[in-house]
C-alpha cells in the first residue's frame, strides 16, 4: 500500500485555510474526515473514527485524548508557532506545490493583511481572501452588521489600547474593519470569548503560558500575532478579569507600527 493510501486526515476548525486543505485532499484523492468543526476543535471528536493500519493526520486539533498509534500532528499555533502554515505542511507531506491562490491563503493564515502586503498581493486579492476567510468561519450578514454597531458604539481607547466590546463573536468582522486604524494593540471580547491582536502578543504568551499549555488559551500568527481564550472554557467574570490583566500589562508598552 502506498504511503498516501495509508493517510487519514482529521480536519479541525473551519477557516479558509482548512477549506483549501480539504480541496487539496479531494483533488489528490486522499482519505479525510471533516466534522465541520469550529475554532478550538478537539481530537476527541474523532475518537470513533480512528482506524487500524491508518496514519492519522490531525489538522489543528487540540490533543485532549490519547493519540492513535500512527499519528502526525499538523499545526502552527501555541507550542508549534515556528512551524510553517498548516497548508504548507500538508503540501510538504503530500509532495505537491502550492499555487498562487493557495500561497495567498497560507500567508493570510500566518501573517494576516501585513503578510499579504509583503507577499505582493493586490488590493483585490486581499479583499477576496479576507471575505472568503470570514465566510469560511461562518460569518453571516448579521455578524457584519453587528460589527459595524460594535465599532460605532463600543470602541474605546485606553492608554494606546483599542478595546471593543463586540456584539458578535466573529471577531474577524471587527479586525478587518479596524486594520490600519487602531495602532498595534487591539483587544476584542464578547461574553466568554476574548482575543488580542497586535505586536505585543509575545508578552501575553509569556504571561499566560500555563493557560496555553493547558488548552485554555491559544496564540498564533507571525508578528503582530494574536492571543485568545479558548471558547467554551471560561465564565464571563473570568474573561473580565483576564481582560483587565491584559490592559494593565500593555498600557505602558510603547506603541509600535502596525
Please state the rounded mean pLDDT for residues 44-56. 96
Q: Does the pLDDT at position 257 exceed 60?
A: no
Is residue 257 situated within a structural domain?
Answer: no
Mean pLDDT rounded to a whole number for the chain: 94
Is there a single domain that holds both residue 172 and residue 221?
yes
Eight-state DSSP code of residue 42: B
- Model pTM above 0.85: yes
Please state the rounded mean pLDDT for residues 63-76. 96
- Whole-number Å distance between alpha carbons of 188 and 190: 7
Work out the number of other CB atoms within 10 angstroms of the CB of residue 239. 18
Is residue 76 situated within a structural domain?
Answer: yes
Domain that holds residue 244: 141-250
Please state the rounded mean pLDDT for residues 198-205. 91
Question: Binning pLDDT at 50, 70 and 90, where does residue 172 land?
Answer: very high
Vertex 197, ends 72 and 132: CA angle to 5°?
Answer: 65
pLDDT at residue 258, rounded to an integer: 40
Where a domain ends, among 105, 134, 163?
A: 134
Work out the number of other CB atoms within 10 angstroms of the CB of residue 34. 16
CA neighbours closer than 13 Å in the CB half-sphere of residue 28: 23
Q: Does the pLDDT at position 79 exceed 90?
A: no
Is there a single domain that holds both residue 14 and residue 114?
yes
Structural domain count, the chain? 2
Scan for cell 465541520, then name that residue: 36
Would the CA dihedral through 135, 139, 142, 144 be positive or negative? negative
Is there a single domain that holds both residue 36 and residue 91?
yes
Is there a single domain that holds both residue 119 and residue 168?
no
pLDDT at residue 101, rounded to an integer: 98
Amino acid at each position: 500500500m502506498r504511503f498516501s493510501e495509508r493517510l487519514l486526515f482529521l480536519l479541525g476548525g473551519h477557516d479558509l485555510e482548512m477549506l483549501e486543505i480539504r480541496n487539496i485532499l479531494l483533488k489528490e484523492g486522499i482519505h479525510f474526515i471533516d466534522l465541520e468543526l469550529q475554532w478550538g476543535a478537539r481530537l476527541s471528536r474523532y475518537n470513533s473514527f480512528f482506524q487500524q493500519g491508518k496514519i492519522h493526520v490531525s489538522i489543528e486539533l487540540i490533543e485532549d485524548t490519547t493519540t492513535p498509534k500512527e499519528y502526525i500532528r499538523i499545526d502552527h499555533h501555541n507550542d508549534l508557532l515556528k512551524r510553517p502554515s498548516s497548508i504548507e505542511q500538508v503540501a510538504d507531506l503530500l509532495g505537491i506545490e502550492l499555487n498562487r491562490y493557495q500561497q495567498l491563503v497560507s500567508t493570510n493564515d500566518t501573517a494576516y493583511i501585513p503578510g499579504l502586503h509583503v507577499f505582493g498581493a493586490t488590493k483585490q486579492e486581499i479583499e477576496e481572501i479576507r471575505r472568503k476567510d470570514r465566510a469560511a468561519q461562518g460569518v453571516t450578514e448579521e455578524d457584519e452588521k453587528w460589527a459595524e454597531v460594535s465599532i460605532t458604539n463600543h470602541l474605546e481607547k485606553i492608554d494606546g489600547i483599542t478595546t471593543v466590546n463586540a456584539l458578535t463573536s466573529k471577531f474577524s468582522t471587527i479586525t478587518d474593519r479596524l486594520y490600519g486604524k487602531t495602532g498595534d494593540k487591539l483587544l476584542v471580547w464578547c461574553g466568554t470569548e476574548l482575543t488580542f491582536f497586535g505586536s505585543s502578543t509575545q508578552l501575553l504568551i509569556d504571561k499566560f503560558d500555563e493557560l496555553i499549555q493547558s488548552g485554555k488559551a491559544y496564540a498564533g500568527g507571525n508578528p503582530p500575532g494574536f492571543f485568545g481564550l479558548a471558547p467554551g472554557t471560561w465564565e464571563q467574570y473570568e474573561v473580565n478579569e483576564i481582560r483587565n490583566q491584559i490592559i494593565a500589562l500593555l498600557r505602558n508598552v510603547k506603541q509600535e507600527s502596525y
